[in-house]
Amino acid sequence: MVVAFVALGIAQSTIAWGPDGHSIIALIADRYLQPRTRAAIKELLGDDSLADASNWADRLRDNPAYDWSKPLHYINVPRDASTVNLPRDCKDDACVVAAITTYAAVLRNRKAPREQRIEALKFLVHFVGDVHQPLHVSYADDRGGNQVRVSWFDETDWNFHAVWDSALIQRDMKGDRELMARRLAAGISSTDLRQWRSTMNPSVWANESLKITQKLYANLPADKQLGQAYYDANIATVEQRLSAAGVRLSMVLNDILGDGRHARDVQSSTAESDQPATQPAAPNSAPATTQPTAP
């Protein structure tokens, strides 16, 4: 029984930011949605929250009919690669970068069947999160760190990937996802917004993750004992990737489902101050900054 649970624990941690990570990303994104975007999401998801929807793609793991979707959660590159290369690393569009493009297009297509658009929305929300988890842009030989055994504080049955999917976040969050989302949102500066919104190209987001992954492997302690020092050295990176993913998710959703003012938001944000927003960046009012130039 114990062995079964330990095995399950490892198997279960192989797919994504854990449910906490995806939920926090969705909660951050929600703050930046335009009213039209929010209404379109409600029309598709009904009473399901974006945070619930963000974890649907991981719940599919138990459904053999969706086995094809497993490679869509990550992209692996050769050990010596410094950027992703889709012809090399994403054959048949079976990777997280292509999946973002695929499902964005389905969601954008108002003529696609409603059920397909609902699935596309749920996949898109999930995969924009996954591409920001550094180890989802990683190496096939150890399955993105899933096969690297580490200890996490007193627990010896962790793997490197799961520490980045779940353990670091859980320790940071102290049991309250909403509180953590609020805290991260409050720390997002207009410089962050400008930088994170500077591209909608998921290959660029993947390359950022890959740069981090390279450092994580270079700095992995030889004894693989990860504890307080590891937490202290890396928690800012975790928080930054969750925040970037949330902002970018809102950008993608506003672009597809909103009122199309995104491009001007990006430009006008260059005029904003560099201070962290005290009000979590009053996200919904962001389009107001574009009024002077709006037609």
Query: CB under 6 A: which stretch of 68-76, 81-89, 169-177, 271-279 binds ligand ADE?
Result: 68-76
List residues binding Zn ion (CB under 5 A): 15-16, 73, 130, 165
Question: CB 218 → ligand ADE: shortest distance, Å?
Answer: 17
Contact of residue 165 among Zn ion, ligand ADE, none (CB under 5-8 Å per partner type)? Zn ion
Query: CB under 6 A: which stretch of 78-86, 131-139, 193-201, 222-230 binds ligand ADE?
Result: 131-139
Contact of residue 130 among ligand ADE, Zn ion, none (CB under 5-8 Å per partner type)? Zn ion
- In the complex with Zn ion, which residue's Cβ is closer, 161 or 261? 161
Contact of residue 177 among ligand ADE, Zn ion, none (CB under 5-8 Å per partner type)? none
Say if strands 155-159 and 149-152 run parallel, antiparallel, or are unpaired: antiparallel
76 binds ligand ADE, rule: CB under 6 A = yes
Contact residue for ligand ADE among 13, 14, 203, 209 (CB under 6 A): 14
Strand, helix or coil for residue 75? strand
Question: CB 168 → Zn ion: shortest distance, Å?
Answer: 12
Question: CB 130 → ligand ADE: shortest distance, Å?
Answer: 8
- In the complex with ligand ADE, which residue's Cβ is closer, 30 or 208? 208
Q: Classify residue 278 as exposed, middle or buried by CB count within 10 Å of its CB (0-12, 13-18, 19+).
A: exposed
How far apart CA 57 and CA 16 sit, in angstroms, is 9
Strand, helix or coil for residue 218? helix
Contact residue for ligand ADE among 54, 55, 69, 138 (CB under 6 A): 138
Helix axes 202-218, 228-257, angle to 10 degrees: 180
Q: What is the 3-state secondary structure (H, E, C) of 229-291?
A: HHHHHHHHHHHHHHHHHHHHHHHHHHHHHCCCCHHHHHHHHCCCCCCECCCCCCHHHHHHHHH
Question: With contact defined as beta carbons under 8 Å apart, do 120 and 112 qualify?
Answer: yes
Contact residue for ligand ADE among 22, 136, 177, 241 (CB under 6 A): 136
Question: With contact defined as beta carbons under 8 Å apart, do 146 and 159 qualify?
Answer: yes
- In the complex with ligand ADE, which residue's Cβ is closer, 136 or 248? 136
The CB-nearest residue to Zn ion is 16
Question: With contact defined as beta carbons under 8 Å apart, do 128 and 249 qualify?
Answer: yes
How far apart CA 9 and CA 170 sit, in angstroms, is 15
159 binds ligand ADE, rule: CB under 6 A = no
280 binds ligand ADE, rule: CB under 6 A = no
Contact residue for ligand ADE among 74, 127, 160, 205 (CB under 6 A): 74
* Site size toward ligand ADE, by CB under 6 A: 11
CB within 8 Å of 210: residues ≥ 6 apart: 77, 81, 82, 83, 84, 134, 137, 138
Question: With contact defined as beta carbons under 8 Å apart, do 57 and 122 qualify?
Answer: yes
Query: CB under 6 A: which stretch of 4-12, 142-150, 169-177, 287-295 binds ligand ADE?
Result: 142-150
- In the complex with Zn ion, which residue's Cβ is closer, 130 or 239? 130
Q: Where are the beta strands (DSSP E) in the chain?
A: 75-76, 137-138, 149-152, 155-159, 225-226
**Which residue ranges make up the site for ligand ADE (CB under 6 A)?**
14, 73-74, 76, 135-136, 138, 140, 143-144, 146
